[in-house]
Amino acid sequence: MTQVAARGGLARTTVHMAFNGDGVPSAATVASLARVLKLDQEDLLRMRAAVLAE
């Protein structure tokens, strides 16, 4: 998690919270994680929006 945080310019606690389901990460956090993990940013942002709509 430390490497992911460093590569994404995020705090370790932010990454930890995002992966452990402690709330819904911000769109900026999702975008940073998607970039670092080479995942589709739009898919992750859609999932985030769906969670917020619940």
- The kind and range of the H/E element at 20 are helix 12-20
> How big is the CA angle at 42 (ends 13 and 17), to the nearest 5 degrees?
15
pTM score: 0.86
- Tokens 């932010």 sit on residue: 14
pLDDT digits (tens, 9 = 90+) for 13-27: 999 999 998 889 999
CA distance 14 to 26: 10
In the prediction, which pLDDT does 22 show? 85
Task: Decide: residue 46, CB within 10 A, 0-12 exposed, 13-18 middle, 19+ buried.
Answer: exposed
